[in-house]
Structure 1
Protein backbone atom coordinates (compact mmCIF):
# COMPACT_ATOMS: atom_id res chain seq x y z
CA UNK A 1 0.00 0.00 0.00
CA UNK A 2 1.37 3.40 -0.94
CA UNK A 3 -0.83 6.23 0.37
CA UNK A 4 1.29 9.39 0.16
CA UNK A 5 -1.08 11.93 1.71
CA UNK A 6 -4.68 12.90 2.35
CA UNK A 7 -5.61 14.04 -1.17
CA UNK A 8 -8.85 15.95 -0.63
CA UNK A 9 -12.14 16.10 1.21
CA UNK A 10 -15.21 16.48 -0.97
CA UNK A 11 -18.03 18.72 0.25
CA UNK A 12 -21.41 18.78 -1.45
CA UNK A 13 -22.59 22.29 -2.38
CA UNK A 14 -25.62 23.64 -4.24
CA UNK A 15 -23.88 26.38 -6.22
CA UNK A 16 -20.17 26.65 -6.98
CA UNK A 17 -20.60 30.30 -7.94
CA UNK A 18 -21.61 31.06 -4.34
CA UNK A 19 -19.37 28.52 -2.61
CA UNK A 20 -16.06 29.38 -4.30
CA UNK A 21 -16.14 33.05 -3.14
CA UNK A 22 -17.06 31.90 0.39
CA UNK A 23 -14.14 29.48 0.62
CA UNK A 24 -11.70 31.98 -0.94
CA UNK A 25 -12.81 35.25 0.69
CA UNK A 26 -14.11 34.02 4.05
CA UNK A 27 -12.08 30.87 4.70
CA UNK A 28 -8.97 32.11 2.86
CA UNK A 29 -8.32 29.21 0.51
CA UNK A 30 -6.95 29.64 -3.01
CA UNK A 31 -9.15 28.50 -5.93
CA UNK A 32 -7.00 26.24 -8.09
CA UNK A 33 -9.37 25.13 -10.84
CA UNK A 34 -12.91 24.07 -11.73
CA UNK A 35 -13.94 21.36 -14.17
CA UNK A 36 -16.99 19.43 -15.27
CA UNK A 37 -16.87 15.75 -14.41
CA UNK A 38 -16.73 13.19 -17.22
CA UNK A 39 -20.45 12.49 -16.61
CA UNK A 40 -21.27 16.04 -17.84
CA UNK A 41 -23.44 16.80 -14.81
CA UNK A 42 -21.28 17.23 -11.74
CA UNK A 43 -18.99 20.27 -11.49
CA UNK A 44 -15.91 20.13 -9.29
CA UNK A 45 -13.89 23.00 -7.83
CA UNK A 46 -10.56 22.41 -6.09
CA UNK A 47 -9.20 24.78 -3.46
CA UNK A 48 -6.13 24.65 -1.23
CA UNK A 49 -4.13 26.60 1.30
CA UNK A 50 -1.70 29.31 0.28
CA UNK A 51 1.21 26.92 -0.31
CA UNK A 52 -1.02 24.42 -2.21
CA UNK A 53 1.43 21.65 -1.36
CA UNK A 54 -0.85 19.43 0.66
CA UNK A 55 -4.48 18.41 0.80
CA UNK A 56 -7.24 20.10 -1.16
CA UNK A 57 -10.88 20.86 -0.57
CA UNK A 58 -13.12 19.64 -3.39
CA UNK A 59 -16.51 21.32 -3.80
CA UNK A 60 -19.01 19.02 -5.54
CA UNK A 61 -21.98 20.63 -7.32
CA UNK A 62 -24.79 18.59 -8.87
CA UNK A 63 -24.50 15.38 -6.87
CA UNK A 64 -27.91 13.80 -6.32
CA UNK A 65 -27.11 12.06 -3.02
CA UNK A 66 -28.89 13.03 0.18
CA UNK A 67 -26.99 13.72 3.38
CA UNK A 68 -27.99 15.21 6.72
CA UNK A 69 -26.97 18.85 7.32
CA UNK A 70 -24.20 17.59 9.62
CA UNK A 71 -22.99 15.28 6.86
CA UNK A 72 -22.25 17.47 3.85
CA UNK A 73 -18.81 15.92 3.63
CA UNK A 74 -19.13 13.57 0.68
CA UNK A 75 -15.87 11.63 0.75
CA UNK A 76 -12.23 11.53 1.81
CA UNK A 77 -9.56 10.86 -0.82
CA UNK A 78 -6.03 9.53 -0.51
CA UNK A 79 -3.23 10.14 -3.02
CA UNK A 80 -1.64 6.98 -4.42
CA UNK A 81 1.08 6.39 -7.01
CA UNK A 82 -0.67 3.51 -8.81
CA UNK A 83 -4.47 3.57 -8.72
CA UNK A 84 -4.70 0.32 -10.71
CA UNK A 85 -2.60 -1.55 -8.15
CA UNK A 86 -4.71 -0.12 -5.31
CA UNK A 87 -7.94 -1.06 -7.11
CA UNK A 88 -6.73 -4.65 -7.46
CA UNK A 89 -5.52 -4.77 -3.83
CA UNK A 90 -8.75 -3.37 -2.37
CA UNK A 91 -10.79 -5.73 -4.55
CA UNK A 92 -8.67 -8.73 -3.52
CA UNK A 93 -9.19 -7.86 0.17
CA UNK A 94 -12.94 -8.13 -0.37
CA UNK A 95 -13.55 -4.50 0.59
CA UNK A 96 -16.89 -3.29 -0.84
CA UNK A 97 -16.32 -1.19 -3.96
CA UNK A 98 -18.71 1.47 -5.20
CA UNK A 99 -17.17 1.48 -8.65
CA UNK A 100 -16.64 -1.50 -10.93
CA UNK A 101 -13.88 0.32 -12.79
CA UNK A 102 -11.47 3.23 -12.42
CA UNK A 103 -12.78 6.63 -13.58
CA UNK A 104 -10.53 8.97 -15.58
CA UNK A 105 -11.26 12.70 -15.39
CA UNK A 106 -10.74 15.09 -18.34
CA UNK A 107 -7.42 16.25 -16.85
CA UNK A 108 -6.08 12.67 -16.64
CA UNK A 109 -6.55 12.12 -12.90
CA UNK A 110 -7.86 8.65 -12.05
CA UNK A 111 -9.85 7.38 -9.08
CA UNK A 112 -12.23 4.85 -7.60
CA UNK A 113 -14.51 4.84 -4.57
CA UNK A 114 -14.89 2.16 -1.90
CA UNK A 115 -16.57 1.85 1.48
CA UNK A 116 -15.10 1.83 4.97
CA UNK A 117 -16.38 -0.46 7.74
CA UNK A 118 -19.15 1.98 8.75
CA UNK A 119 -20.18 2.78 5.19
CA UNK A 120 -17.99 5.86 4.92
CA UNK A 121 -17.19 6.90 1.36
CA UNK A 122 -13.45 6.69 0.58
CA UNK A 123 -11.46 7.34 -2.60
CA UNK A 124 -8.07 6.27 -3.93
CA UNK A 125 -6.87 9.07 -6.23
CA UNK A 126 -3.95 9.20 -8.68
CA UNK A 127 -3.30 12.83 -9.71
CA UNK A 128 -3.15 13.88 -13.33
CA UNK A 129 0.27 13.49 -14.97
CA UNK A 130 2.51 16.41 -14.06
CA UNK A 131 0.55 17.34 -10.94
Structure 2
Protein backbone atom coordinates (compact mmCIF):
# COMPACT_ATOMS: atom_id res chain seq x y z
CA UNK A 1 0.00 0.00 0.00
CA UNK A 2 1.32 3.44 -0.91
CA UNK A 3 -0.42 5.71 1.63
CA UNK A 4 2.28 8.05 2.93
CA UNK A 5 0.57 10.43 5.38
CA UNK A 6 -2.57 12.37 6.17
CA UNK A 7 -2.75 14.99 3.42
CA UNK A 8 -5.51 17.15 4.83
CA UNK A 9 -8.75 17.21 6.79
CA UNK A 10 -11.67 18.82 4.89
CA UNK A 11 -13.98 21.01 6.98
CA UNK A 12 -17.19 22.46 5.53
CA UNK A 13 -17.65 26.18 6.24
CA UNK A 14 -20.26 28.86 5.50
CA UNK A 15 -17.86 31.71 4.72
CA UNK A 16 -14.34 30.87 3.62
CA UNK A 17 -12.92 34.34 4.38
CA UNK A 18 -14.26 34.29 7.94
CA UNK A 19 -12.93 30.77 8.48
CA UNK A 20 -9.50 31.57 7.00
CA UNK A 21 -9.28 34.55 9.39
CA UNK A 22 -10.21 32.32 12.35
CA UNK A 23 -7.71 29.58 11.56
CA UNK A 24 -4.89 32.06 10.90
CA UNK A 25 -5.58 34.59 13.67
CA UNK A 26 -6.83 32.26 16.42
CA UNK A 27 -4.87 29.08 15.73
CA UNK A 28 -1.81 30.51 13.97
CA UNK A 29 -2.10 28.42 10.80
CA UNK A 30 -0.71 29.82 7.54
CA UNK A 31 -3.12 30.36 4.64
CA UNK A 32 -1.30 28.90 1.63
CA UNK A 33 -3.90 29.44 -1.11
CA UNK A 34 -7.58 29.51 -2.08
CA UNK A 35 -9.03 28.21 -5.34
CA UNK A 36 -12.36 27.50 -6.96
CA UNK A 37 -13.05 23.83 -7.58
CA UNK A 38 -13.24 22.58 -11.15
CA UNK A 39 -17.05 22.48 -10.78
CA UNK A 40 -17.11 26.31 -10.46
CA UNK A 41 -19.22 26.24 -7.29
CA UNK A 42 -17.11 25.01 -4.39
CA UNK A 43 -14.27 27.14 -3.05
CA UNK A 44 -11.31 25.53 -1.26
CA UNK A 45 -8.82 27.19 1.08
CA UNK A 46 -5.74 25.38 2.34
CA UNK A 47 -3.99 26.18 5.62
CA UNK A 48 -0.72 24.70 6.86
CA UNK A 49 0.82 24.29 10.27
CA UNK A 50 3.92 26.50 10.68
CA UNK A 51 6.99 24.31 10.39
CA UNK A 52 4.83 21.29 9.47
CA UNK A 53 3.42 22.14 6.06
CA UNK A 54 3.06 18.48 5.08
CA UNK A 55 -0.42 18.24 6.65
CA UNK A 56 -3.13 20.81 5.93
CA UNK A 57 -6.63 21.88 6.90
CA UNK A 58 -8.87 22.27 3.83
CA UNK A 59 -11.84 24.61 4.21
CA UNK A 60 -14.71 23.77 1.85
CA UNK A 61 -17.28 26.49 1.05
CA UNK A 62 -20.38 25.87 -1.04
CA UNK A 63 -20.79 22.14 -0.50
CA UNK A 64 -23.14 21.91 2.49
CA UNK A 65 -22.94 24.45 5.29
CA UNK A 66 -26.07 23.34 7.14
CA UNK A 67 -24.83 20.16 8.81
CA UNK A 68 -24.74 19.90 12.60
CA UNK A 69 -21.39 20.49 14.31
CA UNK A 70 -20.79 16.72 14.40
CA UNK A 71 -20.92 16.62 10.60
CA UNK A 72 -18.67 19.53 9.64
CA UNK A 73 -15.61 17.37 9.03
CA UNK A 74 -16.22 16.23 5.48
CA UNK A 75 -13.32 13.87 4.74
CA UNK A 76 -9.82 12.71 5.57
CA UNK A 77 -7.34 12.83 2.69
CA UNK A 78 -4.36 10.50 2.44
CA UNK A 79 -1.39 11.27 0.18
CA UNK A 80 -0.37 8.67 -2.37
CA UNK A 81 2.42 8.58 -4.96
CA UNK A 82 0.49 6.87 -7.74
CA UNK A 83 -3.22 7.67 -7.60
CA UNK A 84 -4.07 5.65 -10.70
CA UNK A 85 -2.58 2.47 -9.23
CA UNK A 86 -4.22 3.00 -5.84
CA UNK A 87 -7.65 3.64 -7.38
CA UNK A 88 -7.38 0.45 -9.41
CA UNK A 89 -6.40 -1.43 -6.24
CA UNK A 90 -9.33 0.05 -4.27
CA UNK A 91 -11.78 -0.74 -7.09
CA UNK A 92 -10.72 -4.39 -6.81
CA UNK A 93 -11.62 -4.56 -3.12
CA UNK A 94 -15.03 -4.91 -1.45
CA UNK A 95 -15.12 -1.15 -0.79
CA UNK A 96 -18.04 1.20 -1.42
CA UNK A 97 -16.95 3.88 -3.88
CA UNK A 98 -18.17 7.48 -3.73
CA UNK A 99 -16.58 8.44 -7.04
CA UNK A 100 -16.31 6.50 -10.26
CA UNK A 101 -13.52 8.59 -11.76
CA UNK A 102 -10.51 10.57 -10.55
CA UNK A 103 -11.08 14.34 -10.30
CA UNK A 104 -8.36 16.81 -11.29
CA UNK A 105 -8.25 20.30 -9.73
CA UNK A 106 -6.99 23.46 -11.48
CA UNK A 107 -3.58 23.14 -9.79
CA UNK A 108 -3.08 19.59 -11.09
CA UNK A 109 -3.93 17.85 -7.80
CA UNK A 110 -5.95 14.68 -8.29
CA UNK A 111 -8.27 12.87 -5.92
CA UNK A 112 -10.66 9.97 -5.51
CA UNK A 113 -13.27 9.45 -2.75
CA UNK A 114 -14.49 6.19 -1.24
CA UNK A 115 -16.17 5.14 2.01
CA UNK A 116 -14.84 3.50 5.14
CA UNK A 117 -16.77 0.76 6.95
CA UNK A 118 -18.93 3.24 8.91
CA UNK A 119 -19.64 5.56 5.99
CA UNK A 120 -16.73 7.93 6.68
CA UNK A 121 -15.43 9.61 3.54
CA UNK A 122 -11.81 8.84 2.69
CA UNK A 123 -9.85 10.52 -0.08
CA UNK A 124 -6.75 9.32 -1.90
CA UNK A 125 -4.88 12.46 -2.95
CA UNK A 126 -1.99 13.08 -5.32
CA UNK A 127 -0.71 16.65 -4.82
CA UNK A 128 -0.46 19.23 -7.58
CA UNK A 129 1.31 22.59 -7.50
CA UNK A 130 0.25 25.37 -5.08
CA UNK A 131 -1.42 28.28 -6.84
Shorter-chain TM-score tier: over 0.9
* Matched positions, count: 130
Secondary structure of residue in 1 paired with 2:39: coil
Report the Cα offset of residue 66 of structure 1. Answer: 5.2
What are the ranges of 5 or more consecutive residues in structure 2 without an aligned counterpart?
none
Q: Is structure 2 residue 101 aligned with structure 1 residue 101?
A: yes
Which 4+ runs in 1 deviate beyond 2 A?
Answer: 64-68
What is the alpha-carbon distance in structure 1 between the residues aligned to residue 57 and residue 121 of structure 2? 15
What are the ranges of 5 or more consecutive residues in structure 1 without an aligned counterpart?
none
Which aligned pairs between 1:67-106 and structure 2 lie closer than 5 A?
A: 67-106=67-106
What is the alpha-carbon distance in structure 1 between the residues aligned to residue 129 and residue 64 of structure 2? 29
Query: Which 10-residue stretch deviates more, 56-65 or 97-106?
Result: 56-65
CA displacement, residues 39-67 of structure 1 (integer Å, 9 cap, x when unaligned): 00000000011124321000000003753
In the alignment, what sits opposite 1:51? 51
Give the TM-score, by structure 2 length: 0.94
CA displacement, residues 73-113 of structure 1 (integer Å, 9 cap, x when unaligned): 00000000011111100000121111110000000000010
Give the TM-score, by structure 1 length: 0.94
| Cα RMSD for the two superposed structures | 1.4
